[in-house]
A and B are shown apart, each in its own frame.
Chain A
Amino acid sequence: MAIAELNNVKKTYPLGKTEVHALKGVSFAIEKGDFVSIAGPSGSGKSTILNLLGCIDTASSGQVLIGGVETTGLSDKQITTLRHEVLGFIFQSFNLIPVLNVFENVEFPLLLGKSSLSKREKAKWIDHLIDAVGLANWRTHKPNELSGGQRQRVAIARALATKPGIVLADEPTANLDSVTSQGIIDLMKQMNRDLETTFIFSTHDQDIVSIADHVIRIQDGLVLRDYKTARSTPGREDAWVSA
């Protein structure tokens, strides 16, 4: 079963007296554990798709299913709970809470809902995540004392804190230089493997696209290509899922 699915999704934005058709009928399915790249030129609708997958925006028509749950018609409270339990977010501009240090930022999502973990288990898990993103020596630093790459590592750890099924990242490397970007993508890939978390990220950087095992190419609000690479399905080079 697909962990995330769009069925003929359309999205129009009002723009003055006219409308912008950002998505013109998009359909695809993402399997659990995939490392998915949504790729396309600027203005093609990548962010729009990620916002819909992240349940922070609603489609004009069509279906958005997250973990098999149809999201249209859910109340704000239900959809917020869904986001908390199923989704993790990595933002282009990191969006760390400036007054909290690294540890507190990673811990933060756990405080937004009920958690079955004890205080000690929580601390251990957060420390583990901080270690995993390589910031063990920066636990008590505030975001403004970190480099861009370090901040995005904190954001990755934070996105994983609630052990979500899906982590969404809209151009997570757009504010980083290419070397750092590569490091961040590698880290995400490693987490994807270690924790079996589905990662969906958007980018227009071709080098980064090539790391993905499932690529959805978008152009002008439509899916141009949707294919899985050899990485995810061994034995099939550049297998086309759909075209």
Chain B
Amino acid sequence: MIFKIAWRNLLEYRTKTLIIGVLVALGVGVLVIGNSVLESITRGMEASYVENFTGDLIVRNGSDEAVEFMGGFGAVPPAITGFTEVEAYLQKQGGVVASTPLLTSTASLSKDDETLGAAILWGVQPSSYFRMFPGKFILTDGELLRGGEPGILLSQALVDQVFETHGVELRVGETVLLSGQNNTTGTKIREVKVRGVGYYENSAGLLDLISLVDANTLRALTGLTAVGTESTPDAASDTAASAANENAPLEDGDELFDDALVTEAESAPGTAEIDFDDILGDTSVRDGYLALDNHAWHFLLVDLGEAAPDAVTAGLGTLNGTDLVVEDWRWGAGIVADLAFTLRTILNAVILVIAIVAVTIIMNTLVISVTERMGEIGTIRAMGGQKGFVRRLITTEVLTLTLLFGLVGVAFGGLTIGVLNVLGLPAGNLFLQVLFGGPVLRPVLSISALYVSVIAVAVIGVVASLYPTSVALGVSPVRAMQK
């Protein structure tokens, strides 16, 4: 009966019902559409980053500086201390499906004495890298890097950019010069052969400019030498390693690969300049500087499959002498992911404002309708209706109204998302492309947004009816007489 009265009152006062209803439906629609789009963005971003770039976990060394994953413009963290132990430990963990180490840096690219611009470089271990991210770096020419073989896979976007601005074509098989600056060995120049050109799918912005290079070339550029990195891996201190040459068999990937085959292009000034006179006759110090630390890695990317991160990383802290930080894709994506999450926060703040406005409008409308119906409420009270009955009457009315139009809003939002999914939401500019992780976004209905909106609507209904209800409860039965 209460529901019958509530329902008929809603029909009776159609204008008010529609005012509140449209407001509620719009709010819910915005909530559903906005959160669905943004959740699709973050989901897509997560999938894209986890599958293409970061894996589930990024293990790195602690650092006093704010460090970045991309090797774009932020600082690079120190190499992981005790890398071999960390890697061995993680590979023993049940949940770990795959892992691969990574180095990042930027270098200036030049060819035939012409500087062509900056390249973002990822130093990889080809064997594990292409096993963990199979087919993610899509070749347009040439072939992938092989273990122990120096070389670079240039980013297609970089190649295009260089051709556009300098008219220089970078082709597979040619040699390019990379020059990097670091605090250990100063400016370093390395000659490296272009093995392939390619791109990551769905990448945009900085990710588009990533080129993959063999690890030792990058170590040389960044000064990750045995002395410079303060770790003493067995291979690096072995002077025999520097005698190895390009023709030596290199089954064990870049572990065996060393500094010797690099062209002697060092022009290191300043801090890292070694006084050869002082140490003449004893080449161990010099070798220490020149020999690269084969175990120096900035990051260890871990693919967990379905395993929970905590179970895998829990024991990392107990590894002796290590200072590890475990990050996830969000950290790896850096500003782009922050942007998406910030947008979601902004959206929800906007919705909160809408909700407050909605509550105010609904509240006022309800107070008016309670005031208009004071005679009716008084009559009910006079006839023996308890306060609880009046409260239920109003709450039922408000909740019926808000939930009904909440559903309309959900349907409207769901339909819009469905249409957008079919048509696709085009990314009109680079900013959106970065955000969408591609030229078109096909948003999916967010189930959590549905829950949130239903709860939000119920809360709005209850909150908005508090004051009108208290007004109604204050109506004296004498009001029945005052008509």
Contacts and interface: CB of A to CB of B under 8 A. Distances in A.
B391 to A, nearest CB: 13
B480 A95 contact: yes
Contacts of B5: 97, 99-100
B481 interface: yes
B369 interface: no
B352 to A, nearest CB: 35
Interface in B1-52: 1, 4-5, 8-9, 11-12
Contacts of B385: 80, 84, 112
A112 B383 contact: yes
Nearest to A51: B478
A81 interface: yes
A93 interface: yes
Majority secondary structure, B binding face: helix
B443 interface: no
A57 B478 contact: yes
Interface stretch (B248-256, B262-270, B284-292, B374-382): B374-382
Interface residues of B, number: 25
Contacts of B387: 76-77, 80
Given A56-B480, A112-B389, A83 B9 contact: no
B384 A85 contact: yes
Contact of B382 (A81, A83, A97, A108): A83
Contacts of B382: 54, 56, 83, 89
A89 B9 CA distance: 23
A88 B480 CA distance: 13
Interface in A86-127: 87-89, 91-93, 95, 97-100, 104, 108-109, 111-113
A5 B5 CA distance: 37
A170 B480 CA distance: 11
Contacts of B4: 100, 104
Contact of B476 (A56, A85, A89, A108): A56
Given A99-B9, A99-B12, A112-B389, A83 B384 contact: yes
A12 interface: no
A91 B379 CA distance: 9
B256 to A, nearest CB: 88
Contact of B375 (A76, A95, A99): A95
B480 to A, nearest CB: 6
Contacts, number: 82
Contacts of B376: 95, 97-98
Given A91-B483, A98-B12, A80 B379 contact: no
B126 interface: no
A56 B477 contact: yes
Nearest to A171: B481
Interface string A198-221: 000000000000000000000000
A47 interface: yes
Contacts of B389: 112
A87 B12 CA distance: 30
Nearest to A164: B384
A138 to B, nearest CB: 18
B245 interface: no
Contacts of B1: 104, 108, 111
Contacts of B384: 80-81, 83-85, 87, 109, 112-113, 162
A108 B385 CA distance: 10
B386 interface: yes
B132 to A, nearest CB: 67
Q: Which 10 interchain pairs have the tightest Cβ spacing?
A: A84-B384, A99-B8, A56-B477, A93-B483, A95-B379, A83-B384, A112-B385, A112-B384, A109-B383, A111-B1
28 contacts: A47-B481, A51-B481, A56-B382, A77-B387, A80-B387, A81-B386, A84-B383, A89-B382, A89-B480, A91-B379, A95-B375, A95-B379, A97-B376, A97-B379, A97-B380, A99-B5, A99-B8, A99-B9, A99-B12, A100-B5, A100-B8, A104-B4, A109-B383, A111-B1, A112-B389, A158-B383, A162-B384, A170-B481
Interface of B: 1, 4-5, 8-9, 11-12, 375-376, 379-387, 389, 476-478, 480-481, 483
Given A84-B385, A98-B12, A99-B12, 10 more contacts: A56-B480, A80-B384, A80-B386, A97-B376, A98-B376, A100-B5, A104-B4, A112-B380, A112-B383, A158-B383
Interface of A: 47, 51, 54, 56-57, 76-77, 80-81, 83-85, 87-89, 91-93, 95, 97-100, 104, 108-109, 111-113, 158, 162, 170
